Amino acid sequence: MQVMNFIDKLLAASRKNKSLLCIGLDPNPELMPSINVADFNRDIINATCDLACAYKPNLAFYEAQGLQGLIALEKTIKFIPPHIPIIGDAKRGDIGNTSKAYARALFSTFGFDAATVSPYLGKDSLEPFIKHRDKGIFILCRTSNRGARDFQDLALADGTPLYEIVARKASEWNCHGNIGLVVGATCPEELKRVRSICPEMPLLIPGIGAQGGDLDSVIAYGVDAAGEKAIITVSRQVIYASREKNFARAARTVAEQLRNQINSALPNHHLPGEQKE
């Protein structure tokens, strides 16, 4: 049986659910209702799985809870319908056998369809991930946090900012067609520039909602020529829509509103997968 690669799986889920919305599963006991992590995630997933193009667990929130958190992560992955891709937000990157172990952990042990990685150590640190041809690799390019400018905006001798070099290198390394980039919604001009450099790559775009990114700019600059391959990820705004017993229903309401807002902003209101006339 042939395994569907990440890009095909992403596009299929996006078109089926008419959605570019990725829901981040970042369980924080201080913000959650009184419920265990696995059950919380299960209820969120069940309430939103017809609205999302992907789910994105951030490993930090599970690792912070020790062994029980990792067990909850395993259960969470099993709760997600198999046709919806799962992005392991781990931001890994290291040398040699360490990077191989990270890739094995994310792709083989946990079974994520894609992972976020850091390019700081260079190409050899990412090769163990890239060689998994059926998996998606999202390289940190221009992130949504304030401190991103400390390094990512630094100009080289010819004036080119470092994040552009990352985008160009990612394009060179994309020999298997499985590389994407992480570009924040809080930096629309940089997003526009990255999309022009990598017109066909999938872009993972955090920063909408709690971080204040502008949705119209994300749609204008983030989608590809077909109005797809922008994975707009939202976490806190959806999963913490309520701390009461109705948290899953509240999450669905917010997710549906976001999905519809995204679709309304698409060029000529063409939904993912619709043919343009």
Residue 152: give the domain boundaries. Answer: 6-266
Whats the size of the chain, residue-wise?
Answer: 277
The CATH code of the domain that includes 48 is 3.20.20.70
Give me the amino acid identity at 124: D
Residue 272 lies in a domain: no
DSSP state of 76: H
Read off the tokens for 248. 């899953």
Residue 35 lies in a domain: yes
Q: Which residue has the higher pLDDT, 273 or 128?
A: 128
In whole angstroms, what is the distance from residue 247 CA to residue 243 CA? 6
In the three-class reduction of DSSP (H, G, I as helix; E, B as strand; rest coil), residue 115 is classed as strand
Angle among Cα 122, 222, 80 to the nearest 5 degrees reads 80
* Closest C-alpha among 44, 57, 182 to residue 112: 57
Residue 274 lies in a domain: no
Residue 275 lies in a domain: no
pLDDT at 4: 80
Structural domain tally of the chain? 1
- How sure is the predictor about 1, in pLDDT bands with cuts at 50, 70 and 90? very low
166-185 tens-digit pLDDT = 999 999 999 999 999 999 99
Decide: 254 and 238 in contact? Cβ < 8 Å: yes
Compute CA 106 distance to the chain's CA centroid, rounded to the nearest angstrom: 15
114-145 tens-digit pLDDT = 999 999 999 999 999 999 999 999 999 999 89
Indicate which residue of 75, 91, 100, 131 is catalytic. 91
- How sure is the predictor about 210, in pLDDT bands with cuts at 50, 70 and 90? low
Residue 1 lies in a domain: no
Residue 247 lies in a domain: yes
Burial of 151: CB neighbours in 10 Å, binned 0-12, 13-18, 19+:
exposed
Tell me the average pLDDT across 2-31.
93
In whole angstroms, what is the distance from residue 51 CA to residue 41 CA? 15
Give me the amino acid identity at 89: D
Beta bridge partners of 88: 115
Residue 76 lies in a domain: yes
- How sure is the predictor about 229, in pLDDT bands with cuts at 50, 70 and 90? very high
pTM of the model: 0.95
245 assigned to active site: no
* Closest C-alpha among 118, 130, 207 to residue 163: 118
